[in-house]
Chain A
Amino acid sequence: MLAPVLASGASAVGAPGFPLLNAVVLTPVLGAIVTALVSRRRPEIAKQTAVLFATITGALTVAVAIAFDSHVAGFQLVSRTQWINQPDIAWALGVDGISLWLVVMTGILFPIAMLGAPPHHDGKPFYAWLLVLQAGCLGTFLALDLFLFFVMFEIVLVPMYFLISGWGYDDRRYAATKFFLYTMFGSAFMLVGVLATALLHADGGPVTFDLVTLAENQGVIALTTARWLFLSFAIAFAVKVPLFPFHTWLPDAHTQAPTAGSVILAGVLLKLGTYGFLRFGLYLFPEAAVWAAPGLVTLGVIGILYGAVCAAMQKDLKRVVAFSSVAHLGFIALGTFSITTQGLQGSVLQMVNHGMSTGALFLLVGMIYERRHTRLIAELKGLQKPAPIFAAVFTVVMLSSIGLPGLNGFVGEFLIFMGSFLTRRWWAVAAAPGVILAALYLLWAYQRVFHGEPDEDNASFPELRVAEGLALAPLVVLIVVMGIYPKPFIERIEPAVAHLIEHVEENSDYVEPRVATEGEHIVPASELRSSEPGAAEHAGSPTESAEHGGGE
């Protein structure tokens, strides 16, 4: 059965003998099957099996990062197996700088979610669903075939639906149904978009769903049609991200989901949307993406401010964190559709950063709920006194989410600010007060929950346990490391982003504004764009960064 999988086909970059990406996607599937076969009477074994498989998957994703060649812009470790001949649909996986860290993050976050937030009942199906979910997410990030992408994108909904409705809190059925229907609504448009793109692109010839073929041969589909097709994808992604005003499924789903579900929802699932915008928006429809950029950037900026204001007024701690995601994802949208080197790199990095910090925040809020059986801010008070270490970890994660320099959240946010300023000056300036609001809602919540003299119910709040600390430790370490030394991460993202911007420039009249070199005085970016269309500097070429790295 594995034979066709092993026969990896047309890959630009030599794939290694071991089909690493297939292993990454299929290991959790295998894990789900094995977990499901474990005896119902031995829930401990089910958990251990699941954690083992999730950890192996995580290790494999790290192996992907090690095998990854940081100088290559295109897809690497490509593995392609024909699925259907006519039309051309393939099990095609590949990784580039844009998906690399998302894959690694997905690999790391799942075992952490399993260890840090075990379910209260029926462990076996819970873990099995989580593994299915992991496979779906990894498949989505790695798919190089539109059809495969769509299938993976949709598969993700099923385990998530069951996780929320089966293991969630009081309002779980409402939240799960809303999540499912809302996302399906978006996906319906995308399905039409996927089919129409392939068919229209074929123009009577053989139909293919191969992403690279479709994206690299622009011009077959008429401009107006391409814009409509872009919008059909954009609706699905906008719901998934979610962009304002498609965000209202998010607070319900995040709040009602079991902790592990919230961690994955915020950490990984939302990134399916932002990743989709990059891969199936900018890459597949460059001209349309440039055309739609002002609107999407505006929605992003609204999300930054609006999400933060709503977060501030929530009474439920989990909803505060949930709404903070709306604001953070707004930043990612702003960076993505700034279409600049800094903005795009910042966005890709911020997807990972948000996964780390918000994932950790949900874990911590889950731990508070485990202890106190409430998430209402009004019922919590003075937790810092009985649990100073717990409070310290919460503080570090919170400051990362606020975007304190030296921690990871700042790096992405800063790059997004710089990049979006080059093309969308006033949008970037308008987004800047978001940094005040982020501090406002989180510090205010922190003050009410952790500061003060604890009352009777909160005075015996248990301190962070060793197992909990171990689950959080990798996230906290990454939060610090990525904040202080993000270079290894940035370096690997850079070629792919440079390639993407070149691709957009080749296929539209967009030109990335040139950045002045030190000591040089240039005209403002806005004027430059109209007057000097040829002068784009593809600043992010790998050779240049290599020179920088080597020089003293």
Chain B
Amino acid sequence: MQDMIWLIPALPLVGFTLLVFLGRRIGEPGAGWIATAMVGGSFLATAGIFTTLLGRSGEERAMTQTLFEWLPVGGLNVEFGFLVDPLSITMCLFVTGIATLIHLYAIGYMHGDPRFTKFFVYLNLFVFSMLMLVLGDNLLVTFLGWEGVGACSYFLISFWHESEANASAGKKAFITNRIGDVGFIVAMMFTFGAVGTLSYQGIVAAAPSLAVTTATAIAVALFVWLPDAMAGPTPVSALIHAATMVTAGVYVMTRMNPVVVEAASWVPTLIAVVGAATALFAATVALAQHDIKKVLAYSTVSQLGYMFLAVGSGAYVAAVFHMVTHAFFKALLFLGSGSVIHGMHGEQDMRRMGALRKVMPVTSVTFIIGWLAIAGVPPFAGFWSKDEILLFAWEKSPALWAVGFLTAILTAFYMSRQVFMVFFGEARWDRPLAEAAPELAAEREAEGVHEGHGAGPEGAIHPHESPWIMTLPLVVLAGLSIVGGGLNLPMLDSTKLLEHWLEPVIHFGEAHPDATTTEKVALAGVATTSLIGLLAAVLVYLKGRADLARQIELPAMRKGWYYDSSISAFAGGPGRKGFQAMADFDKAAVDGAVNGVGTLVAEGSSRLRLLQTGFVRNYALSLALGVVVVVGLLLSKAVF
């Protein structure tokens, strides 16, 4: 089975290549089915290797496969190789599994799009890149995947590039990814300089490089583009968020956990603090959004913060656990929101929705399951993983725990708000826009937005349930969101399946909280009180207290605390002016100097030219002067 590792990434690559050259001929829906089959095959291959690993003892569960030497240069020898161990196979399982569902869903969602096949070209390339990221046995192969994912999100976000917003968001995604790359490249340089290799096994053996963690920590700050990425087609957003961008950073951190542990103690603390702050910040932004996908986007950023809080607290198992459960319910929510948008004929604003549970039964039931999972209602998946993280945070510092707890309340609140606004209350789609949602109508009037790009029809909308090909993935994901917590139940040692499974990979870094059972139960009990957020949302949104809602949803929150817009303002203002100043400097000063010299020479020579008068007597005179000078020189030499 070991020799078959390459098959996991190879299948999506084959799909990609096939569709690049034959996609147009195959067309819809064949291209979609081929792409889905490839990723599905990849999932089966992963499952096969997974069962092989299960049959082995803990120490023998790591294996590598080297395909060829990629960069054999002097002391640096980078191989194109894969590393399969409990961590990477876990990643592969849920990446390929969820990706298969998303591919299937996309066949329905992208139905009728003129660029149907192209979409699947990108999707397959995306899955391939993601698998390279998690399977690489050294930093460089991971970086190849990291960049591939970045490039694919660029392609996918700017997929409908006719809209300026999409094109800009795609570009921004790539450039932001590149800012992270600088950290990655610098980290690789320091690693190579210190240990002479980039392979994980070599790094883990040496683990002295603090720079790796600090550099990777930079990546935490890189969530600016996530909310903007929402412009892309919905399944992509789900894929990006649930299975990739979130996991990439956490995965690399977990992979490098011995290094994080070896680093100075402020490094994990910094990671935890940044994580907690991110979680809280994004949650406050999420609770003021009107766009159904933007709520989920900021929610993802917030959950990412939780995972980094876990990593910083030494809770690697909890981080991976939350990554997996989050992948289940966030993919579910994103695909569900896509189904809603699909049914609403392109409308994305929640102020135009309401009472959709009556017309979209499957979507609403599955979405509600996703909501309960993310809000932390026991026994759904999110409860277990979030509880685990909060326990470790408590051990690290009660202050971190408090931030995490507050975020949990907010999470319950904003997710309930979304569910109530979309599926409950009164229907705001059965009348024309101006009548049903005057506030929204006025906004769109002011901004000159008409139908398309997130805005639905202005007349009455007739929502409908999505076809089976879209609802089937929802049902599967809903099932996983219910039972996902079973991966790592904290009650007994024998039920901590994930912890035992990951043990060989994370035993360096995993913290072991010495909390007693009573403390644990107490903390879990307190955690359930975060559901007051849910109750508060009932009061505000289900009871239709618009006045209260207006007081809670501050404009600053809606604008993301102006974080993003200030960066844009800087880039478009002083940043651009600075660039222009340098370009002007080049033209005026550097090139000006060159041309100045040119002019000087030209002028000088035209003066000199005047000496060539053409009169023999002038030449004779200079000749005579020259003779005098030469003779004088000779004489002076002879004399002195």
A residues lining the B interface (CB < 8 Å): 178, 181-182, 245, 247-249, 306, 309-310, 312-314, 340-342, 345-346, 382, 384-385, 388, 399, 404-406, 410-411, 414-415, 417-418, 421-422, 425, 428-429, 432-433, 435-436, 439-440, 443-444, 447, 450-453, 484-487, 490-491, 494, 498, 514-522, 524-525, 537, 539-540, 545, 548-549
A444: B residues at CB distance < 8 A: 171
Asked whether, in the complex, the Cβ of A436 is within 8 Å of the Cβ of B178, the reply is yes
A519 to B: closest C-beta gap in Å: 5
Asked whether, in the complex, the Cβ of B181 is within 8 Å of the Cβ of A435, the reply is yes
B605 within 8 Å of A by Cβ? no
The chain B residue sitting closest to A340, CB to CB, is B74
B370 to A: closest C-beta gap in Å: 34
Asked whether, in the complex, the Cβ of A545 is within 8 Å of the Cβ of B151, the reply is no
A314: B residues at CB distance < 8 A: 583
Given A248-B590, A314-B583, A453-B162, do A415 and B73 touch, yes or no (CB 8 Å)?
Answer: yes
From B187-195, B313-321, B323-331, give the one contacting chain A. B187-195
| Residues 151-179 of B contacting A (Cβ, < 8 Å) | 151, 154, 158, 161-162, 164, 167-168, 170-171, 174-175, 178-179
B310 to A: closest C-beta gap in Å: 29
B193: A residues at CB distance < 8 A: 421-422, 425, 524-525
Task: State the 3 A-B residue pairs at the shortest beta-carbon distance, nearest first.
Answer: A515-B75, A341-B74, A516-B196
| Residues 216-243 of B contacting A (Cβ, < 8 Å) | none
Given A245-B590, A248-B586, A443-B175, do A312 and B75 touch, yes or no (CB 8 Å)?
Answer: no
The chain A residue sitting closest to B144, CB to CB, is A405
B74: A residues at CB distance < 8 A: 340-342, 345, 494, 498, 515, 539-540
Asked whether, in the complex, the Cβ of A312 is within 8 Å of the Cβ of B72, the reply is no
Given A248-B590, A310-B582, A485-B68, do A435 and B185 touch, yes or no (CB 8 Å)?
Answer: yes
B376 within 8 Å of A by Cβ? no
Asked whether, in the complex, the Cβ of A519 is within 8 Å of the Cβ of B202, the reply is yes
B77 within 8 Å of A by Cβ? yes
Asked whether, in the complex, the Cβ of B175 is within 8 Å of the Cβ of A384, the reply is no
B190: A residues at CB distance < 8 A: 421
Asked whether, in the complex, the Cβ of B202 is within 8 Å of the Cβ of A518, the reply is yes
Asked whether, in the complex, the Cβ of B590 is within 8 Å of the Cβ of A539, the reply is no
Choose from B161, B168, B196 the contact partner of A515 (Cβ within 8 Å). B196
Asked whether, in the complex, the Cβ of B192 is within 8 Å of the Cβ of A182, the reply is no
Docked Cα-Cα span, A515 to B192, in Å, equals 8
Given A487-B69, A524-B193, do A385 and B162 touch, yes or no (CB 8 Å)?
Answer: yes
| Residues 108-160 of B contacting A (Cβ, < 8 Å) | 118, 140, 143-144, 147-148, 151, 154, 158
The number of inter-chain residue pairs (CB within 8 angstroms) is 182
B154: A residues at CB distance < 8 A: 443
Docked Cα-Cα span, A433 to B183, in Å, equals 9
Of the A-B pairs whose beta carbons lie under 8 Å apart in the complex, a sample of 9, sorted by A's number, is A181-B598, A248-B591, A385-B162, A405-B144, A418-B189, A436-B181, A439-B178, A515-B196, A524-B194
Given A248-B594, A518-B196, 11 additional A-B pairs, CB 8 A: A341-B73, A345-B74, A399-B151, A406-B144, A451-B158, A453-B162, A517-B75, A518-B195, A524-B194, A539-B75, A545-B72
Q: Which among A182, A340, A342, A518 has the highest number of chain B CB atoms within 10 Å?
A: A518
Docked Cα-Cα span, A293 to B178, in Å, equals 29
B468 within 8 Å of A by Cβ? no
Asked whether, in the complex, the Cβ of A521 is within 8 Å of the Cβ of B206, the reply is yes
B206: A residues at CB distance < 8 A: 519-521
Docked Cα-Cα span, A386 to B76, in Å, equals 45
B449 within 8 Å of A by Cβ? no
A393 to B: closest C-beta gap in Å: 12
A404: B residues at CB distance < 8 A: 147-148, 151
Docked Cα-Cα span, A421 to B192, in Å, equals 9
Asked whether, in the complex, the Cβ of B579 is within 8 Å of the Cβ of A309, the reply is yes
A433: B residues at CB distance < 8 A: 182
Asked whether, in the complex, the Cβ of A178 is within 8 Å of the Cβ of B196, the reply is no
B71: A residues at CB distance < 8 A: 411, 414-415, 486-487, 490
Asked whether, in the complex, the Cβ of B147 is within 8 Å of the Cβ of A405, the reply is yes
The chain A residue sitting closest to B164, CB to CB, is A452
Asked whether, in the complex, the Cβ of B185 is within 8 Å of the Cβ of A487, the reply is no
A537: B residues at CB distance < 8 A: 75
Docked Cα-Cα span, A514 to B195, in Å, equals 11
A486: B residues at CB distance < 8 A: 70-71
Docked Cα-Cα span, A491 to B582, in Å, equals 41
Asked whether, in the complex, the Cβ of B73 is within 8 Å of the Cβ of A518, the reply is no
Docked Cα-Cα span, A312 to B590, in Å, equals 17
The chain A residue sitting closest to B598, CB to CB, is A181
Q: Which among A312, A341, A418, A519 has the highest number of chain B CB atoms within 10 Å?
A: A418
B189: A residues at CB distance < 8 A: 417-418, 421, 425, 428-429
B238 to A: closest C-beta gap in Å: 24
B582: A residues at CB distance < 8 A: 306, 309-310, 313
Docked Cα-Cα span, A516 to B73, in Å, equals 13
Asked whether, in the complex, the Cβ of B148 is within 8 Å of the Cβ of A405, the reply is yes
Asked whether, in the complex, the Cβ of A436 is within 8 Å of the Cβ of B175, the reply is yes
Q: Which among B154, B179, B189 has the highest number of chain A CB atoms within 10 Å?
A: B189
B150 to A: closest C-beta gap in Å: 9
